[in-house]
Structure 1
């Protein structure tokens, strides 16, 4: 793998465009809202939520690069098969996650309305299950916006693609972390603890809605 020519304006434009595209792509609610909702349900600290964001962001970019590489290697004939199938798996996982939280909110004994604000319900799934579930959601949903950039850059060589992948990862994780942090801060300011009795139902409906958003985007 020969090193890329860093003096080429085209390469810098490619890397800058890849970073901007990845950062803006991370602004989609599907890239940060599940981390806010699940992190809140699991009573995660900000550091733990951002750890999940980083792992899921890396998995998201890895699946994007794998799909892009397969399409480049096998030709555009695989585009509709591979790139179109994985988001459905991601949506199915979100449906399952959301349905689980929704059912648990129905069968669980609710918090008494007169109870103190700190009497919040305990997490309904294990932390490991929630963590790897979020990672799987992102891994099964490659960035369709980033795929054209990756595939159009194949002629620049593998070294340039490696740098582009790095820009994708930095932009995606940075964007997901920023929007997750801002959303968590907003929820804290609004003092949403008063809605704790209904949090399981809200979480379930929200995750199912995100899954529907992914499905709708495929049409």
Structure 2
């Protein structure tokens, strides 16, 4: 059960987690493959969004597994060094934030945020294409979300579960929105060009959350 005094911090972390997850979904790797594969497989909107939802949930599930391990390691460390965990989580948030800011400043954006993703050759079954998209997201946990698990570790399992739900909601909503816009023809706006700002926005957001955690340490 979450302590009443810690509820404001938890609510702030949940809101920040939702926002960061949604912003992270702007990366073309989180929506472009679904548009390409959907066109190649001649999927309707419902089938494409079903793949988006399944893949988004798989992405967050793998993130939750890694995040849970990080949280357990942090709590074990907290037992040895009292009061270290909040400062450790704040430091980790700062480090991730600075990393994304620096990377955004020195690195040119790539259209798909990594290796180019191509639509499957004609003849690939819908099942294979669907599972391929899900697997693609499942094997790549959202590293930008992991510090939030450490920040909420002391709040207990309920807080970590709520955080995972917030991540899932933000990720699935963001992925679905950008996929729908691209399918509807809004790709003429070159949504992928906004990926260049993703690192800077995430960096600032993570540093802000780190400041929030640090100021709550007594």
- What TM-score range do you get, normalising by the shorter chain? 0.5 to 0.7
In 2 relative to 1, CA 8–70 (structure 1 residues): closer, same or farther, beyond 3 Å? Answer: closer
Q: Find the counterpart in structure 1 of residue 182 from structure 2.
A: 183
Q: Find the counterpart in structure 2 of residue 24 from structure 1.
A: 23
- Equivalent residue pairs, number: 152
Secondary structure at the counterpart of residue 146 of structure 1: helix
Q: What aligned pairs does 1:1-219 form with structure 2 within 5 A after superposition? A: 2=1, 5=4, 8-74=7-73, 98=118, 101=120, 104=121, 123-186=122-185
Provide the C-alpha distance between the structure 2 equivalents of 1:6 and 1:138, rounded to a whole number of angstroms.
Answer: 36
Deviation at 1:126, TM superposition (A): 0.1
Deviation at 1:6, TM superposition (A): 9.3
- Unmatched 5+ residue regions in structure 2? 78-114, 190-218
Secondary structure at the counterpart of residue 184 of structure 2: helix
Deviation at 1:152, TM superposition (A): 1.8
- Unmatched 5+ residue regions in structure 1? 77-93, 105-122, 191-219
Provide the C-alpha distance between the structure 2 equivalents of 1:6 and 1:186, rounded to a whole number of angstroms.
Answer: 48
Contact 2:10 2:152 (8 Å CA) reproduced: no
Deviation at 1:66, TM superposition (A): 0.3
Provide the C-alpha distance between the structure 1 equivalents of 2:60 and 2:18, rounded to a whole number of angstroms.
Answer: 12
Say which is worse superposed, 144-153 or 20-29, in terms of deviation: 144-153
Contact 1:59 1:139 (8 Å CA) reproduced: yes
TM-score by length of 1: 0.62
The one-character-per-residue Cα deviations of 1:80-115 (angstroms, maximum 9, x if unpaired) are: xxxxxxxxxxxxxx78x74x94xx5xxxxxxxxxxx
Contact 1:23 1:171 (8 Å CA) reproduced: yes
Provide the C-alpha distance between the structure 2 equivalents of 1:62 and 1:154, rounded to a whole number of angstroms.
Answer: 17
Provide the C-alpha distance between the structure 1 equivalents of 2:155 and 2:183, rounded to a whole number of angstroms.
Answer: 40
Return structure 1 stretches of 4+ with deviation > 4 angstroms: 3-7, 187-190
Provide the C-alpha distance between the structure 2 equivalents of 1:60 and 1:22, rounded to a whole number of angstroms.
Answer: 11
Deviation at 1:73, TM superposition (A): 2.7
In 2 relative to 1, CA 187–171 (structure 1 residues): closer, same or farther, beyond 3 Å? Answer: closer
Secondary structure at the counterpart of residue 8 of structure 1: helix
